Structure 1
């Protein structure tokens, strides 16, 4: 097994890793767990999870000349997981904490593939592009403040991240879905951006335990993705969110002037 730079547990306390913090904390060795360890974890934390076709999910080492990625997961439940690969490790973590939403994404991919084949349409289509983007770099922003989502959608970055910083931290949770985003957050870089879906809740949701918040968000997101796909889901429905603007993700954002760099915090067009 190849040694890695830092153990997964090192990221457990970092902002935006909250959905998987408890899982990361288990892996204190400077090696990524192999597929057997990942499958044992999955059996423990998501015992009822399955692919879009209802097949039990298993993490497996990729084979040569295997079926297309989504088709394989759908038909067999096998999720190709490269050894010692952070990106695929975080995908396994996403399956652990977003099992319903991940299965929904898989089922929606296959429904879109079948529909386009029947209609003899070429290419992937905008719905599959949106599902893939969200799977890679998606984030669910859950807020009990009606103003916060509107300000974020409107690219009012300084207003929401600085002027309303305390309100943001009290009322809003940023739940990363995209395993690619977790991979990038190991070494955050200027301009790092996610694709956001916004959700308004009442204050009772914030009183739930973090585990209950995550489980409820997973159920909600699975239904929401179904609804979006029925309404011509496309990448344009995913709002860009500069992750380094979220309080404490980088020490640089402890100054107001940080939010005035329009290379990263771009005003909304039109």
Structure 2
């Protein structure tokens, strides 16, 4: 069957879609319905559960629900709009990041309960950070800590151009945020993700991609559940600077445009 140009399978070979490339390739004509997404989840992540341990399945958005995360926690139902790219990518994220998606849901509900118990209004910074990471998170795993330090320090030209060959050999960029995948269908100037950095060894890099993905899912779930997390944990990463994402990045000058590759903010000294 030929691939329709605007079908999911048309994205399977693009950079940064690697975690879901095999899933995208299964749909050469159109976004699948909820039943097909349920079947996909049962095949690739049969143990996927919400934070409360209920099996995940995809349903049309209910007319009334007590908050998105609370509804998932209470029912296992993930509201999924028919034919919607954003929700389609969210379903695929559940297929390849099931432990982390479950951990995010559990953390949302834990924070909701905590804030309610002490009378704090609103969502709070933890839930905002979780939502931001759920939408545009990425794990950058590398066996070269120096490169991760350069990225974290906003030394974009050094990390992404000067040491480009080292970066390609030692670093993997694994998108978690379903909003980022949606945006990458038509990348725009300044498109940015929020990164968590992970040091790995050469043996990890040598593993097949599916094993690296499962291991990174387990690592990320533990990272969220067992260590402090917030907006300060996340590092901005201009996605169009990653080698291969856009032909424009094949020149050093590209990384000198501070509209997109901003220097790290200098914090004023404390009084």
Give the TM-score range, shorter chain: over 0.9
1:5 Cα deviation after fit: 6.3
Which deviations, in whole Å up to 9, do the C-alpha atoms of 1:151-181 show, x marking residues without a partner?
Answer: 0000000001100000000000000000000
Is 1:248 matched with 2:238? no
Tell me how far apart the structure 1 counterparts of residues 32 and 95 of structure 2 sit (CA, whole Å).
14
Is 1:9 matched with 2:9? yes
Aligned to 2:125: 126
Instruction: Kindly report which structure 2 residues correspond to 1:79-228, keeping only aligned pairs within 5 A, or say none.
Output: 79-228=78-227
Matched residue of 2:188: which SS?
A: coil
Superposed CA RMSD: 0.9
Aligned to 1:59: 58
Q: Which of 234, 256, 260 is 1:260 aligned to?
A: 256
Aligned to 1:237: 233
Question: Structure 1: which 5+ residue stretches go unaligned?
Answer: none
Matched residue of 2:81: which SS?
A: coil
Matched residue of 2:58: which SS?
A: strand
Matched residue of 1:59: which SS?
A: strand
Aligned to 2:73: 74
Aligned to 1:35: 34
| 64-73 vs 180-189, which moves further | 64-73
1:236 Cα deviation after fit: 2.1
1:67 Cα deviation after fit: 2.2
Tell me how far apart the structure 1 counterparts of residues 65 and 234 of structure 2 sit (CA, whole Å).
31
Tell me how far apart the structure 1 counterparts of residues 175 and 32 of structure 2 sit (CA, whole Å).
21
Which deviations, in whole Å up to 9, do the C-alpha atoms of 1:26-73 show, x marking residues without a partner?
Answer: 1001x2100000001111111111110000000000121222100011
Tell me how far apart the structure 2 counterparts of residues 65 and 76 of structure 1 sit (CA, whole Å).
13
Tell me how far apart the structure 1 counterparts of residues 68 and 121 of structure 2 sit (CA, whole Å).
18
- Normalising by structure 2, what TM-score? 0.96
Matched residue of 1:175: which SS?
A: strand
Matched residue of 1:70: which SS?
A: helix
Question: Structure 2: which 5+ residue stretches go unaligned?
Answer: 267-271
Tell me how far apart the structure 2 counterparts of residues 53 and 14 of structure 1 sit (CA, whole Å).
35
- Normalising by structure 1, what TM-score? 0.96
Runs of 4+ with >3 A deviation: none
Matched residue of 1:139: which SS?
A: strand
